[in-house]
Amino acid sequence: MSNPFFKNYGPFKLSKIINVLNIKIDNSLNDKEIHDIKDLVSSTENDITFFHSKKYKDAANKTKASFCLTTDVLKKELPMNCSALVVENVLVSTSKISSIFYPDSVNDNFDETAISINDTPFNDKVCFGKNVLIGMNVSIGNNCKIGHNTIIENNVVIGDDCYVGSNNIIRNTIIKNNVKILDNCTIGKHGFGFFPVKDKNIRYPHIGIVLIEDNCEIGCGATIDRGSMSNTIIGKNTFLDNQIHIAHNVKIGENTIIAGQVGIAGSSIIGNNVKIGGQAGISGHLKIGNNVEIGGGSGVIRDIPDNTKVMGYPAKNIREFLRNNKWYTKQL
């Protein structure tokens, strides 16, 4: 993943990484330079990646990373070009190494650099309401409007013809053209990423961003977390209703419609032309295919193939649900 906002403080010698992890490897590798930490798919030579679950076996087989944080059981799935660094807890180790490369991503406090839009070059370019604040490293396109009490914090790109309503907080986000964001949204903060270790929880850095493609609409009260090791993406022409939560690393395809109070847990992938009914919940690390319809109030706990309609908890094929719940059909 190429991060446009957070500074990469690498490269680092492998010996430094080994010291942080407190593990032992072949001393001949100590002087090897590591340029970045990335996920299995986007890693290239001289990168370090991580592999913690059999679910990602196919990606692990094809990774181009030089080194991989993994377990003794999973290391056999790595290709010859990738040396395993066996650790006790892969995700905790990944957090430690991410903090070395991207220390600026750990702090997610409010943006102390934000100033009144009246004191920025956008004063004569943007139509804005009262009490609008703008942080550092912000770009705003042509013909944009920003509502009252909105804070565009550091590291935000807003394209042309965009509308950002009132009482929003946005950071670490790229917004393409003709996007409409209604009121009371929080976009680009870190996700709910913790590792329980003994008597404390360790938060891991979120070095990704939020990317909202062209012609999207984000409803009131939506929260969209930035990615941890990859980006959170809202595809073109996708509309989100009010009070929706999109967790870190979620990728939503094009032309998708999601009704109110839906929650999508981290790292799930939603296909194109998907319709999700209100108050549905989708567990993490799932793949929802193209042209899928998910009924309101459903609980999705496994992958759903293309062109499928599901409903219920756990969500099942709509025909099976209706056959087993005849009381429901009587209400229709």
Between the alpha carbon of residue 317 and those of residues 40, 271, 284, the distances in Å are 32, 17, 20
Band of residue 109 on the pLDDT scale cut at 50, 70, 90: confident
**Backbone angle region of 228, left / alpha / beta, with phi > 0 → left and psi within -120 to 50 → alpha:** alpha
Closest CA relative to residue 252, chosen from 235, 266, 265: 235
More confident position, 21 or 331: 21
Between the alpha carbon of residue 94 and those of residues 61, 106, 229, 253, the distances in Å are 19, 13, 10, 28
Long-range CB contact pairs, 84-91, < 8 A, 24+:
85/17, 85/18, 85/21, 85/23, 85/25, 85/48, 86/23, 87/21, 87/23, 89/195, 89/197, 90/50, 90/51, 90/52, 91/50, 91/52, 91/195, 91/204
Band of residue 29 on the pLDDT scale cut at 50, 70, 90: confident
More confident position, 139 or 109: 139
Band of residue 8 on the pLDDT scale cut at 50, 70, 90: very high
**Cα within 13 Å of Cα(13), Cβ side:** 8
More confident position, 114 or 193: 114
Residue 193 dihedral angles phi and psi, to the nearest 5°? -115, 105
User: Range(s) for CATH 3.40.1390.10 in the chain?
Assistant: 12-105
Relative to beta strand 67-70, strand 83-86 is parallel
Band of residue 324 on the pLDDT scale cut at 50, 70, 90: confident
Q: Is residue 141 exposed (0-12), middle (13-18) or buried (19+ Cβ within 10 Å)?
A: middle
> How many helices (H) and strands (E) in the chain?
5, 37
**Backbone angle region of 42, left / alpha / beta, with phi > 0 → left and psi within -120 to 50 → alpha:** alpha
Q: Which of 190, 206, 245, 248 is catalytic?
A: 248
User: Range(s) for CATH 2.160.10.10 in the chain?
Assistant: 172-331
Band of residue 1 on the pLDDT scale cut at 50, 70, 90: very low
pLDDT digits (tens, 9 = 90+) for 222-253: 999 999 988 999 999 999 999 999 999 999 99
Catalytic residue flag (residue 248) = yes
Long-range CB contact pairs, 161-169, < 8 A, 24+:
165/220, 166/129
Band of residue 147 on the pLDDT scale cut at 50, 70, 90: very high
Q: Is the pLDDT of residue 2 over 70?
A: no
Report the mean per-residue pLDDT for the chain. 93
Class of 12-105 in CATH: alpha beta
- Average pLDDT (192-221) is 89
- Average pLDDT (302-320) is 93
pLDDT digits (tens, 9 = 90+) for 250-300: 999 999 999 999 999 999 999 999 999 999 999 999 999 999 999 999 999
CB neighbour burial string for 88-109, b if at least 16 within 10 angstroms, e if fewer: eebbbbbbbbbbbbbeebbebe
- What is the architecture, at CATH level 2, of domain 172-331? 3 Solenoid (2.160)
Residue 246 dihedral angles phi and psi, to the nearest 5°? -115, 115
Tell me the whole-structure pTM to 2 decimals.
0.92
Q: What is the CA radius of gyration of the chain?
A: 22
Amino acid of residue 98:
S
Whole-angstrom Cα distance, residue 12 to residue 170?
32
